[in-house]
Structure 1
């Protein structure tokens, strides 16, 4: 009897929304709360936040008592807002297949308060409405404020929340605020915004969100590194030749030209996403799997990044702008011909950096980072290339170049890990070639990965800041990029290379890495 029990398979995973719950991997359900969304009529709310909340609700990962108040300038009442929520749910297979009862119960939790967030007189009305909803829903005054608005509104909303006393909850309740990226446009504006945030909220209340950190593949890097002994001993300068971080998109600017014209690739992708990936790969083992221990180590990585002086920018940074070309055999226009883009725009749609982390582990190992729009393929990955063997036994008899061992951590569109190494081919005595071992998340676990916003919303509601950025991390990230941004601003018209849509970027990006005797890998 006991032997049969030992051989029993573990209980199957229960898929709830997108997050998987198992007997040994249970999620904690947050406390009752109210969720206040500024920018409730916007794209982020309806494309990401409402679906994330629905999946969490269907997975029994939200408390019994919760509500949402949408805030926006669009004139609507509660019923009107619920109709827009219903429209958002129509795009979700899980919602379409659900019976009307759970959908209706979900939508009944949504309320709306139209008004102008610029108007100081609006906030007392909001405060009164929240007190009423807290009482009706027995949430204990717990509130999550989500700024799903354009960044230009952050400062004023934060200041008004502080003035109206909405930065603190009455009694024993908590108040937290999620601030979307971009957090500032440069070092000075980020510091100014942090000062305004600090004046109204304590740091432990502030959750600066980067959706890349909510992706399963990014979270798995920590487990891959620190739960397996076979790689940690060689995760250093002695064995690793270099690291490549790529975030490539096939899409152009689409409907984001207004934002992208003032941002560009460096602000849009490097200050947050790519530097976060660098930190996860480069950090030291934390003392414990706790939020502050992990965030401490990530900040230490940025503090160790070698500064780029103004004189060295052209050696360590490359930019480019896409021209007309072909994407999947379909002709596409150049960036300057996109709707909403200035005809003589100098905004970069591609950027590449070479960075060094000057500490004991990484001294002398270059980190090459690149990101761009209208590239040959959609892919986000971290490629870790190991050094060649110190003495090649087969060199006198094997004339072909032996490819180095490469570990690839894929973030999107497919999530997984692959390891390339050398093996003997069947046949001739000295016939050798590269082979790859692949691990794919969906194939291994047979469940879809949850959307990043599900993970991040749940963590914020539970008061877990591990996957969110602290003030000092934001400060250091902008400090690294400041010399590059300043140099590019000064030489906007004189040195902006171009690249054909559907390629892998300007030739200057190839030269950046080829000067070191290396080359970009093709994802």
Structure 2
């Protein structure tokens, strides 16, 4: 009997198309992207399944995919962790995570089918017996659920444990793939802590898995609004002609959080804002904003264009003037009195880890020559927001009196990534009345108001892409290494200074004064989201 996705009347069979590793996905037609992308027979193994990422993001995303009919009926979900859980304990954990965090409504029939493929393996990453049990579980699923040897291994564990997990997969034959089945590995950021460690991590993974089977997750790239950067640029004639140094004054890319580090002191201290956010999220957003039009949107074409941009990025010569860093101090955040970073539990009083980082970069290409790209990120700032602001040059001539345009600012196009996803345009307009008075106004496009269908969560898209073997949204090792080449000299400079130049900023503010001074030197100011 052929399984059918009820709401579409589509069988799990038919069209035959191959992913980069040669695996045939029966419902993927590259010539018609309107068709649903449904994964073929497969399973997902999550290492570190007891962590917050698995509970709040990964397991709910798997359920949402199943609820939307995008997973095969025999899909298998295996959890691997140290907890001494039984099978029923694990099913209850998945059930509770799904009911609390899933985006789509809970449906008992979907849950029943998904739960039948749930398995739990208790063990340690360094323990051979644990991996033998994992291998037996996967073999059993291949027989009973029809997963056909197709499995993705998701490393939701600290980066220091990546090497031992990869080596164990190799030693126990779990990474082996044949002509008719695939094995893939998913690595969560951070991809190393500097260039050397990133290269070592790549060497370890590539010794076990071919490059097309290594998926480096940057969840920002799975957001619908990030992908809309490409749609807005290349589907509309009105933007691309002015998307260059002739018209653009500067670009500001901001990722602000209104929360502190929470209970992540062990992870965050020694990592800091630049490694945590700029190296991956913000440099990827810069690349998408600045890249040339790719010949297609497949993985290879996108990778080529992003690498060109990252290779052309130039850091400032005066790192003391054109970088800024800080730590949040006590203040008020979200109407609540908040302590400073050095008062957080587990943070040493001598810590020089930055919770705010801002840098000025340039892209040394004909299109962007002379245009500064300002990147900033921080914790305990005034509000949570991620956006890209393209600030245009002022008109070369204004045929109005100075009083008519006294407060007129630069035209600005703002792409809001989160939380209020959409696009804002700021431009000058005449104020109603008899006098010629011009004032800045804004025009807003909001995703929530324009589309009745809610956007899938980033992890839904990314997990499905892993199971399909579709890699355009995943940074390859070349991009990762180019990003570290940009950031390493800046971090080395900051670490050589210790706490010197590490300015405190009040919780609930927009960061240290040195970040404002960085732009003021060039006659600019940060946009207030």
TM range (shorter): over 0.9
SS of 1:464's equivalent?
A: coil
Between the aligned partners of 1:172 and 1:13, the Cα distance in structure 2 is 28
Matched, 1:279 2:287: yes
Q: Which moved more, 1:229-238 or 1:164-173?
A: 164-173
Shift of 1:13: 12
For 2:313 and 2:111, the matched residues in 1 are separated by 49
Structure 2 vs 1, CA of residues 154 and 214 (structure 1 numbering), >3 Å: closer, same or farther? Answer: same
Residue matched to 2:97: 88
Query: In 2, distance between residues paired with 1:397 and 1:98?
Result: 59
- Match for residue 70 of structure 2 among 61, 75, 90: 61
User: How many angstroms apart in 1 are the aligned matches of 2:191 and 2:282?
Assistant: 15
Cα 1:281/1:93, change in 2 over 3 Å? closer
Q: 1:423: which partner in 2?
A: 429
Aligned equivalent of 1:124:
132
Compared CA separation, residues 399 and 442, structure 1 to 2 (3 A): closer
Match of 1:110 among 106, 118, 136: 118
Change (3 A) 1:399 1:443: closer
Q: Is 1:79 matched up with 2:88? A: yes
Residue 134 of structure 1 aligns to a residue whose secondary structure is helix
Deviations 1:265-291 (A, max 9, x none): 000110110001101100100011211
In structure 1, distance between residues paired with 2:184 and 2:334: 44
Q: After TM superposition, give the deviation of residue 308 of structure 1 in Å.
A: 4.5
TM score, norm. by length of structure 2: 0.92
Match of 2:483 in 1: 477
* Mapped contact 1:141–1:171 kept (Cα < 8 A): no
Q: For 2:297, what is the secondary structure of its paired residue?
A: coil
Aligned residues of 2:61 and 2:102 also touching (Cα < 8 A): no
* Paired residue secondary structure (1:494): coil
**Structure 2 gap segments, 5+ residues each:** 1-6, 10-31
Is the counterpart of residue 191 in structure 1 residue 199 in structure 2?
yes
Give 1:176's aligned residue: 184
Which residue matches 1:449?
455
Map of 2:252 onto structure 1: 244
The more displaced of 72-81 and 495-504 is 72-81
- 2:37 corresponds to: 28
1:93, CA displacement in angstroms? 6.5
Cα separation, 1, equivalents of 2:147 and 2:459: 22
| Contact 1:326-1:501 at 8 Å conserved across structures | yes
Name the structure 2 match of 1:380: 386
Q: Quote how far apart the aligned CAs of 1:24 are.
A: 7.5
Aligned partners of 2:66 and 2:110 also within 8 Å:
no
State the shift of 1:165 in Å.
Answer: 2.1
Contact 2:74 2:117 in 1 (8 A): no
Residue pairs, 1:241-320, within 5 angstroms? 241-308=249-316, 312-320=318-326
Relative to structure 1, the CA distance from residue 35 to residue 513 in structure 2 (aligned partners, 3 Å threshold; closer, same or farther) is: same
8 Å CA contact retained: 1:305, 1:358: yes
Contact in 1 for aligned 2:122/2:130 (Cα 8 Å): no
CA distance in 1, matches of 2:399, 2:171: 73
Deviations 1:119-168 (A, max 9, x none): 23432332222112112111221111100111111011112212222112
What SS is found at the alignment partner of 2:270?
Answer: helix
Partner of 1:510, secondary structure, is helix
Report which stretch shifted further, 160-169 or 293-302: 160-169
**Correspondence for 1:163:** 171
- Shift in CA distance, 157/498, structure 1 to aligned 2, threshold 3 Å: same
The residue number in structure 2 matching 1:39 is 48
How many residues get paired? Answer: 501
Cα distance in 1 for partners of 2:513, 2:145 equals: 59
Verify the 8 A CA contact 1:308 1:480 in the aligned structure 2: no
* Shift, 1:90, TM fit: 2.6
Shift of 1:244: 0.2
CA shift for structure 1 position 443: 0.4
2:352/2:499 contact within 8 Å kept: yes
TM-score normalized with structure 1 length: 0.93
Shift in CA distance, 399/426, structure 1 to aligned 2, threshold 3 Å: closer
Change (3 A) 1:99 1:222: closer
Quote how far apart the aligned CAs of 1:103 are.
2.1
Distance 2:430 2:480 in 1: 48
CA distance in 2, matches of 1:432, 1:94: 44
Structure 2: how far apart are the matches of 1:396 and 1:479?
46
Cα distance in 2, alignment partners of residues 109 and 450 from structure 1: 23
How large is the Cα RMSD of the aligned pairs? 1.8
